[in-house]
A = this chain, B = another copy of it.
Amino acid sequence: MYQSKLFVKTQKEVPKEEVSINSQLLLRAGFIDKLMAGVYSFLPLGLRVLKKIEKVIREELEKIGAQEILLPALHPKENWERTNRWGQEVMFKLRSRSGKELGLGWTHEEIITPLVKKFVKSYRDLPLALYQIQVKFRDELRAKSGLLRGVEFIMKDLYSFHQTLEDLENYYEKVKKAYFQIFKRCGIGKQTFLTLASGGTFSEYSHEFQTLTPFGEDFIYLCEKCKVGINQQIIKEKNYRCYQCGNEKLEVKKAIEVGNIFNLKEKFARYFNLTFKDREGKEKFVLMGCYGIGLPRLMGAIVEVNHDEKGICWPIEIAPFQVHLISVREKREIKKTAQTIYQLLENQKIEVLYDDRAKSVGEKFVDCDLIGIPLRMVISEKSLRKKSVEIKERKKKVARLIKIKDLLKFLKEKLSLC
């Protein structure tokens, strides 16, 4: 894409109430725009990142046999009265002209359980895993951490349905692995830890995935040996020890919760009488698990972990583009070569943002570092004299010259690795 055509521009100033690093950088770089507290628009670069995160999530969930669906955001009051959650204060409530009381969904157990009841009758219909990537609404009072705590946000929510507790627990473990794979591909694998949390009514514990960052909103107690955490709400129960090895030297760290998984067991099946006939013809409650990832929050966490003083450093799989091509002068030969290379990369399906704007090279470099595309490729008189382009990785300090004839080979290797 030509940067001159890109409708957003980088900005020097951002709203002063935006205190978090993620929202400052994403707003300045033009990835998002703030409509009001906790409500953001995704601009072209931001939407590209969001769609790449969606792709990673879809690929990992399809691997564990989950089927994608799309549920509505508008919910009838009745469904939520069944579970006694109509009164929850995060729920936005409204009334239609015809007088019907409605709520905006902040989670979907109340919708998916009666839906599954329509199709699941027998043990032959189980197990089953359904997910969606869909917009949620939560009436949050403190929506102040950029994308980390949204009032409106896209969420991936997965629900699984099982005959036996053993089958549910097996699937729960599969989801854990899929989540680690997702976070690894999103560039926060090393900083993200499975963390024990309280389980609500029906289960002893649930699990959170916490990403360490100095700007996190949560505290976790981390066992460096077992690579697991315990969250603040339950560390006292555990006597400030690792629940796996008994280690007492836990480190307290700031973290962002990027995912959570719950073993719901019979909870929602009882509310909606979701049962199945087992092999012996006996009617039993279906056992459920639920598993969430907030996408803007994940994007925010990725930026909190992957940035430096100059801007964002996108991990390759979710970067808005793979290569940021910059021509340093308006000289005809340089422009012509840049244009040729741009076409070459486009034809090879390498995603390039081409900074063809009439700006100084200094300004282009500043924007380039702020936007954070993994590879910067500069074409200058100097590089052309050596029949080369200058390539610098966003996370590294030094650039190197690559012969134009070797460029495609170099890029293909680089992009599959970095």
Residue ranges of A at the interface with B (Cβ–Cβ < 8 Å):
5-9, 33, 35-36, 39-44, 47, 50, 65, 67-76, 89, 92-94, 96-98, 100, 102, 104, 111, 115-116, 118-120, 125, 128, 130, 135, 137, 139, 141, 151-152
Shortest CB-to-CB span from A81 to chain B, Å, is 14
Query: Contacting A135 at CB < 8 Å: which of B50, B118, B119, B135?
Result: B135
Please report the C-alpha to C-alpha distance between residue A94 and residue B36 in the assembled complex, in whole angstroms.
15
Task: Report the Cα distance A8→B67, complex, angstroms.
Answer: 11
B-chain residues with CB within 8 Å of residue A65 when the two chains form the complex: 5
The residue on B at minimum CB distance from A92 is B94
A62: shortest Cβ distance to chain B, in Å? 10
| Minimum distance in angstroms from A7 CB to a CB of chain B | 5
CB distance from A205 to the nearest CB of B (A): 29
> Are B137 and A74 closer than 8 Å at their CB atoms?
yes
Measured CB to CB, the closest approach of chain B to A67, in angstroms, equals 5
A75: min CB distance to chain B, Å:
7
Nearest CB in chain B to that of A124: its residue: B4
User: What is the predominant secondary structure among interface residues of chain A facing chain B?
Assistant: mixed
Q: Let me know if B41 and A119 touch, CB within 8 A.
A: no
In the complex, the answer to whether A70 meets B42 with C-beta atoms within 8 Å is yes
CB-CB nearest in chain B for A9? B119
Whether the Cβ atoms of A74 and B151 lie closer than 8 Å is yes
- In the assembled complex, how far is the CB of residue A170 from the closest CB belonging to chain B, in whole angstroms? 17
Question: Do residues B89 and A97 form an inter-chain contact, with CB atoms below 8 A?
Answer: yes
Q: With A and B bound together, what is the CA distance between A398 and B47 in angstroms?
A: 47
Q: What would 16 A/B residue contacts be, using CB atoms closer than 8 Å?
A: A5-B65, A8-B119, A35-B72, A35-B111, A36-B74, A36-B100, A39-B74, A41-B115, A43-B69, A47-B68, A72-B152, A73-B135, A92-B96, A93-B94, A94-B104, A97-B141
Q: How far is the CB of A97 from chain B (nearest CB, A)?
A: 5
- Closest Cβ–Cβ distance, residue A98 to chain B (whole Å): 6
Which 5 A-B pairs have CB atoms at the shortest separation, nearest pair first?
A42-B70, A94-B94, A39-B72, A44-B67, A74-B152
The CA-CA distance from A50 to B93 in the complex, in Å, is: 28
Contact of A7 among B111, B125, B137 (CB under 8 A): B125
- From B43, B44, B72, B116, contact of A40 by CB (8 A): B72
Closest-by-CB residue of B relative to A108 is B41
Chain B residues near A42: list those with CB within 8 A.
Answer: 69-70
The residue on B at minimum CB distance from A154 is: B70
Among A69, A93, A125, A141, residue most surrounded by chain B Cβ atoms (within 10 Å)? A69
For A93, list chain B residues within 8 Å (CB). 94
Task: Point out the residues of chain B lying under 8 angstroms from A7, CB to CB.
Answer: 67, 116, 119-120, 125, 128, 130
Distance in Å: Cβ of A306 to nearest Cβ of chain B: 22
CB distance from A351 to the nearest CB of B (A): 14
When distances are taken between beta carbons in the complex, the residues of chain B under 8 Å from A76 are 35-36
Residues of B within 8 A of A41 (CB): 69-72, 111, 115
Q: Do residues B33 and A75 form an inter-chain contact, with CB atoms below 8 A?
A: no
User: Contact at A98–B44, with CB atoms within 8 Å?
Assistant: no
Q: Which of B39, B102, B118, B128 contacts A33 (CB 8 A)?
A: B118
On chain B, the residues within 8 Å of A115 by CB distance are 33, 41
Most buried by B among A9, A72, A74: A72
- Asked whether A47 lies within 8 Å of B69 as measured between CB atoms, the reply is yes
